[in-house]
Amino acid sequence: MLMDALSEKAEHKVVLSSRVRGERARWLQMGVENARQALAARLGSQAGMQRRLHLLQQMLELDEAPRRIECFDISHSQGEGTVASCVVFDPEGPRKSDYRRFNISDITPGDDYAAMEQALLRRYTRLKKEDAVLPELLLIDGGKGQVSSAQKVMEELQISEILLVGVSKGPERRAGMEILHIPSQQRELDLPPDSPALHLVQQIRDEAHRFAITGHRQRRAKARNVSPLEGIPGVGPRRRQQLLKHFGGMQEVARAGVEDLGKVAGISHDLAQKIYDTFHG
């Protein structure tokens, strides 16, 4: 194919030849063999994925194997830095370019149901607005409460073509003991621990969990690194720098009185009072 393209460009026949010898030949052979093994592994992985999808189709009583699966999870630390994750799988495995995170706000800290509802509403409102592809299967990490939140969103957005399935850890919260909640079929499914279909659900659920935790940790770290001075009207980057330089650090700024704060260039008495109140109010 390359020779044909070059020949057409040059308007005469082009012949490519390679005479790699010695050490370079061995490296080339090793590269070809590694590529062959990688291709075989990928094809084998895809075949395994197809098999698990078809088994999942049978277990969930779907007309055909799902071509797109989305899974949501929520992560926070005692209500702080709540993040929802959405991971996407297709017949080739995880589709990481379609992964999304949602920073959750304006809810009661620790309310996982409200967090799930907000994330789903934002996700599927946008997909409907953009006329984007919807998943055939939506997995929710959680039991009946989380599933009810998801049902509420689907009904509000008038989305009926997605099969909603909750994935709870079961009474002993052990891997392999998961229970699938399928509200549209009014049943719960308890798959055997060695089921390839269950393994696929676990893989997707665990990926959503990993993605949510990573996002939560990043959000929490960012929030904890924000200077208290950044939230004070009238204290911009230059004045923050002047305060830190004058007092030698944030702790010293926090300990300073109104009069001391007012001695810094550009800090009026009223602004000094605001700064003091931020640390002592």
Least-confidence region, from 43-47, 87-91, 238-242: 43-47
Which whole number is the average pLDDT over 164-180? 82
Instruction: List every span in the chain annotated with CATH 1.10.150.20.
Output: 228-280
User: Does the predicted TM-score (pTM) go above 0.75?
Assistant: no
Instruction: List every span in the chain annotated with CATH 3.30.420.340.
Output: 1-225
Closest CA to 85 of 136, 11, 139: 139
Residue 10 scores a pLDDT above 80: no
Class of domain 1-225 (CATH, top level): alpha beta
Torsion over CA of 30, 34, 40 and 42, rounded to 10 degrees?
A: -170
Q: Which CATH architecture has domain 228-280?
A: Orthogonal Bundle (1.10)
Where residue 37 falls among pLDDT bands split at 50, 70, 90? low
Q: What amino acid occupies position 117?
A: E
Least-confidence region, from 41-50, 56-65, 269-278: 41-50
- The span from the first CA to the last CA of the chain, in angstroms, equals 74
**In this structure, are strands 69-77 and 137-141 parallel, antiparallel, or unpaired?**
parallel
SS3 per-residue string spanning 91-138: CCEECHHHCEEEECCCCCCCCHHHHHHHHHHHHHHHHHHCCCCCCCEE
**In this structure, are strands 187-189 and 179-182 parallel, antiparallel, or unpaired?**
antiparallel
- What's the pLDDT at 249? 82
Distance in angstroms (rounded) separating the CA atoms of residues 85 and 216: 9
Where residue 44 falls among pLDDT bands split at 50, 70, 90? very low
Kindly report, residue by residue over 89-146, the tens digit of the pLDDT.
999 899 999 999 999 999 998 999 999 999 999 999 999 999 999 999 999 999 899 9
Q: Is the dihedral of CA 47, 169, 68, 185 positive or negative?
A: positive
**In this structure, are strands 100-103 and 80-90 parallel, antiparallel, or unpaired?**
antiparallel
Kindly report, residue by residue over 201-219, the tens digit of the pLDDT.
999 999 999 999 999 888 8
